[in-house]
Amino acid sequence: METLQFPENFWWGAATSGPQSEGNFKKQHQNVMDYWYAQAPEDFYNQVGPDTASDFYHDFQTDIQLMKVCGLNTVRTSIQWSRLIDDFEKNTVNTEAAAFYSAVIDAFLANGIEPFITLHHFDLPAELLHKYGGWESKHVVDLFAGFAERCFALFGDRVKYWFTHNEPLVVVEGGYLDQFHYPKKVNGRAAVQVAYNLQLASSKAIAKYRQLKQDGQIGIILNLTPAYPASQAKADIEASEKADLWYNRLFMDASSKGEFPPALVELLEQEGVLWQAAKDELTLIRENTIDLLGVNFYHPNRVQRPKFSPKSLVVDFRPDKYWQAYDMPMARMNVDKGWEIYPRAVYDIAKDIQENYGNLLWYISENGMGVSQEERYLNADGVIEDDYRIQFIKEHLYWLHKGMREGSNCLGYHLWTPIDCWSWSNAYRNRYGLIANNIHTQTKTVKKSGRWFKKVAASGRLELENDIIE
């Protein structure tokens, strides 16, 4: 048996978001997901929408107590722009919503849990999409910075860790290339502009934070997916480098170094789709980098040379014309979700941050294993025995610890998610929580993984019994 010791003040936590947990109670405005559900409920698994979610709006006091039972010392959730603000142009605050978020923050603190707050978790107010074209518009960028400023002013006395966006790349890909998020467009040029605008919005929010001189830290949450080449052949390696630029370096470089990767800028220029950027905006991006990076990691990307030459004549630009997904034979899978399990990638990410990003402060902000119909694993005491999840977490922690031992500045590990929550079009298909939620009764029960997590968090010790697959 091997025991790994984590630092004393390590962040043992979990992440969720406002739109996925609160439910739409007393909300004045729809966000894009609410709107999408109202238009096309059939796009959502079992037609379950965000109306109730896990009812954090009413249950937050008891939910937070359950999080404490799981040993969490830090939890990330988000403030919904579409709840907090009454008039987006005037940036006026809804007092009931402000009181709600304030009470949530106080409840976290009263239970010894440090709240981490995200400002945008895929939940743009629908009105801003309809009026201005959403993230395609720089006016929306400015409105977002204003909303961020309101949040800092209202809650910055108690919230010390802020994050501008969650997974901006998912907004770009889901909304403007692959149609798995609203507005479900397919438009490469718009995708590139949206990517830029999201970065600008993040940097502008950071600039506001700096102006207020509050005593916390601000960062961004990026889904990093190392792009492993299918072989060592030159064409496969080149494909992986291009994929890496798009999937990882785009937001990573801009957020932490203040500059977009020159190779990506050159490629987009050659393609004739480079974003519209003003000089003063690029200066603002350069001057407002993050204090802290959150890394969401679920699965790696395996890529190979593209099937067709990137010089083929196509009308619309797509970044993935430079590579193609590669299904590695004998990949180890979470078969239920269809994602490869490759915990070693966490080590590769840790080393990349250490070696190529000035060893900046970071943490794992999401990692987790989505499984459907977990009632299959209910024991006689009504507890879900999710040993697969415990194994999944253990293996990722093992590789994280190795990276930290070698000097990577990782501050914590957050699981997705504390309590089973609603997840966009997948709704309640994949359960990720340490705490189960019966969505018909809103009964919440700690899973076996929740009790296990508490032990690890309380001692900072991870016990391994030859159960790591290298």
List, in sequence order, every residue forming a beta bridge with 219; answer none if it has no partner.
163, 292
Q: Does 430 bind ligand BG6 (CB under 6 A)?
A: yes
Identify whether the C-beta of residue 400 lies closer than 8 Å to the C-beta of residue 462. Answer: no
Identify whether the C-beta of residue 221 lies closer than 8 Å to the C-beta of residue 296. Answer: yes
Q: Taking CB under 6 A as the rule, which mask of x and - marks residues 244-283 in contact with ligand BG6?
A: ----------------------------------------
Degrees to nearest 5, angle at CA 371 with 369 and 375: 135
Q: Does 366 bind ligand BG6 (CB under 6 A)?
A: yes
- End-to-end Cα separation, the chain, in angstroms: 16
Size of the residue set binding ligand BG6 (CB under 6 A): 13
In the complex, least distance from residue 103 CB atom to ligand BG6, rounded to whole angstroms: 23
Q: How far apart are CA 221 and CA 367, in angstroms?
A: 12
Q: Which is nearer to ligand BG6, 137 or 179 (CB)?
A: 179
Identify whether the C-beta of residue 77 lies closer than 8 Å to the C-beta of residue 123. Answer: no
Q: Does 175 bind ligand BG6 (CB under 6 A)?
A: no
Torsion of CA 135, 117, 56, 113, to 10 degrees: 170
Residue 259 bears catalytic tag: no
Q: Does 296 bind ligand BG6 (CB under 6 A)?
A: yes
Residue 340 bears catalytic tag: no
Which of 22, 127, 136, 167 is catalytic? The answer is 167
In the complex, least distance from residue 19 CB atom to ligand BG6, rounded to whole angstroms: 9
What 3-state class would DSSP assign to 133? Answer: coil
Identify whether the C-beta of residue 447 lies closer than 8 Å to the C-beta of residue 386. Answer: yes
Q: Taking CB under 6 A as the rule, which mask of x and - marks residues 215-234 in contact with ligand BG6?
A: --------x-----------
Q: Which is nearer to ligand BG6, 35 or 275 (CB)?
A: 35
**Pairing outcome for strands 362-366 and 292-296:** parallel
Q: Does 416 bind ligand BG6 (CB under 6 A)?
A: yes
Q: Does 166 bind ligand BG6 (CB under 6 A)?
A: yes
Q: How far apart are CA 261 and CA 274, in angstroms?
A: 13
List, in sequence order, every residue forming a beta bridge with 431; answer none if it has no partner.
371
Segment contacting ligand BG6 by CB under 6 A, of 38-46, 133-141, 416-424, 457-465? 416-424
Which of 136, 281, 366, 374 is catalytic? The answer is 366
Q: What residues line the site for ligand BG6 (CB under 6 A)?
A: 17, 20, 166-167, 223, 296, 366, 370, 416, 423-424, 426, 430
Question: Catalytic residue positions?
Answer: 167, 366
